[in-house]
Structure 1
Amino acid sequence: MKTHTLTLILALFRISFSFASDYEEAMKTQLSEMKNIQSDAEAQQVKNGFLRIAQANMTEWLPMYYAALVQTEAALRFEVDKDAYFEEAKEYLKIIKDAGAANSEITALEGYILMGIVAVDPGSRGQSLSPQVLQLFGKAIGQDRNNPRAVYLMAQMEGGMAKFFGQGPEKACGMVKMSLDLFEKEAEKIDENYLLPSWGWDNAKKMYAECN
């Protein structure tokens, strides 16, 4: 009886390990493809890949997070219906938030989406939505002060507002420098199996270069 029980436990362990391996390999493939997106068509393929992973791994928040991120950056980079793309990204985040996921990365991405919505029409949306964007980035920093994306995105928002109101970039430049220090620390943890968010460093470098 003990032999049969042990055999069953080992079989279940192998099945669980296989599922975990499949998830990790699928995520690594999609993350690699995400880095090479050059068109909206490619963005949609990558996004759909993340959605398929999400459907097969309902307890994982990262696949739906990345689907939202891909859709957000597609709206920012390509000639598409930007508002529709941002709304779709918001829906993906809502799914993982409704499932109980809550952390600095999710909050920062929520602010990033809303910042994109403002950018579509800053004249009519900035006054009402900018405080919400700043609040979300502030919350994300409060959830994890070592999250470089939260600090960088706050710097980006501060920089945009400074330009809009004809103010200097000092505050934004100080914040983006802080984010670069955090990106460097984060890079020490990243290897080929790293699945957590690590995006934003290149854009932060470009922003800081404009400060000098």
Structure 2
Amino acid sequence: MKKYLLSFALACMSLTSFAQADYEKIMSEKIAKIETCKTPEDFQALGNDFQRIGSKESTQWLPQYYAAFSQIQKGRIMMRNGNMQALDGVAAEAEKYLGMAQNLAGADNAEIHLLQKMAYSLRMMVNPQQRFMTDGARAAEELNKAEKLDPYNPRVALIKAEDVYFTPEQYGGSKTKGVEMFKDALAKFNAFKPKTVLDPNWGKAEAEYFLSLPAEKTK
């Protein structure tokens, strides 16, 4: 009987290990696709993939995190293309997945708060003058939470640099100061090591891009 129970326990452990390896393989493949997505449709499809993974791996927060991240990246492309009126719906989708991720990961997760900041920023861009004091204030609050929880997080530094770089000078922005902040972000990226191969590790290429721009484009 003891031999049977031992064999059964070993079989269960093997199945668990196999399932975990399969999950990590699928997630790694999908995360790698983030760098190849170029259009809102690309990110929508990728977000759907992460959402399907999350529905199967109901105890894992990262699939829901990446589903939200895909929606936010979709929204940022739409914003650059001038499609502002659709951003509320995109932000709402991102916030739905972030709520699921936070329920699993807990409230003290800097990466989730940072994406919540980015979702509020998308909402603000629908009408910046009207929404600066509401969605803009919420975005700043989420960014502050993320920074307090993880002051050395390079993605926090990256988004702070973006905010300064793209904000008009009359409202306190500065491309010159933004470039210096991108340098700080890149230094943090160079020192950063994610906890696991699946944990958030995006953003370094963006910091490098801004630092590669000719000086006349950053003035």
Bin the TM-score by the shorter chain: 0.7 to 0.9
Q: Which residue of 2 aligns with 1:72?
A: 72
Question: Within 5 Å, which residues of 2 pair with 1:126-141?
Answer: 126-141=132-147
1:113 aligns with 2:92: no
CA distance in 1, matches of 2:137, 2:40: 30
Q: Which residue of 2 aligns with 1:200?
A: 203
The code of the aligned residue for 1:84 comes to G
- State percent identity of aligned pairs: 26
Residue 55 of structure 1 and its aligned partner are, at CA, apart by: 0.9
1:37 aligns with 2:40: no
CA distance in 2, matches of 1:60, 1:146: 24
Residue 117 of structure 1 and its aligned partner are, at CA, apart by: 1.6
CA distance in 2, matches of 1:181, 1:8: 50
Specify every segment of 5 or more residues in structure 2 that has no aligned partner in the other structure, as ranges: none
Aligned residues: 209
Residue 200 of structure 1 and its aligned partner are, at CA, apart by: 1.2
Q: Which residue of 1 aligns with 2:24?
A: 24
1:115, 1:157 within 8 Å by CA — same for their partners in 2?
no
CA distance in 1, matches of 2:154, 2:67: 20
2:163, 2:173 within 8 Å by CA — same for their partners in 1?
no
Residue 136 of structure 1 and its aligned partner are, at CA, apart by: 1.3
2:167, 2:174 within 8 Å by CA — same for their partners in 1?
no
TM-score, normalised on structure 2?
Answer: 0.85
CA distance in 1, matches of 2:5, 2:155: 48
Cα distance 1:5–1:164, how it changes in 2: closer, same or farther (>3 A)? farther
The code of the aligned residue for 2:199 comes to L
Q: What's the secondary structure of 1:17's corresponding residue?
A: helix
1:8 aligns with 2:13: no
Specify every segment of 5 or more residues in structure 1 that has no aligned partner in the other structure, as ranges: none
Residue 163 of structure 1 and its aligned partner are, at CA, apart by: 3.3
The code of the aligned residue for 1:143 comes to L
Residue 60 of structure 1 and its aligned partner are, at CA, apart by: 0.8
| 41-50 or 78-87, which deviates more | 78-87
Cα distance 1:23–1:154, how it changes in 2: closer, same or farther (>3 A)? same
TM-score, normalised on structure 1?
Answer: 0.88
CA RMSD of aligned residues (A): 2.3
Cα distance 1:158–1:168, how it changes in 2: closer, same or farther (>3 A)? closer
Residue 164 of structure 1 and its aligned partner are, at CA, apart by: 5.1
Q: What's the secondary structure of 1:199's corresponding residue?
A: coil
Residue 170 of structure 1 and its aligned partner are, at CA, apart by: 5.2
Residue 159 of structure 1 and its aligned partner are, at CA, apart by: 3.2
Q: What's the secondary structure of 2:36's corresponding residue?
A: coil
CA distance in 2, matches of 1:166, 1:105: 26
CA distance in 1, matches of 2:165, 2:38: 27
Cα distance 1:135–1:175, how it changes in 2: closer, same or farther (>3 A)? farther
Question: Within 5 Å, which residues of 2 pair with 1:51-130?
Answer: 51-78=51-78, 81-102=86-107, 103-130=109-136
CA distance in 2, matches of 1:198, 1:155: 17
1:134, 1:154 within 8 Å by CA — same for their partners in 2?
no
Residue 118 of structure 1 and its aligned partner are, at CA, apart by: 1.5
Residue 211 of structure 1 and its aligned partner are, at CA, apart by: 4.5
CA distance in 2, matches of 1:204, 1:164: 24
CA distance in 2, matches of 1:106, 1:76: 17
The code of the aligned residue for 1:145 comes to P
**Cα-to-partner distance string for 1:14-36 (whole Å, 9 max, x where unaligned):** 11011101110110111122221
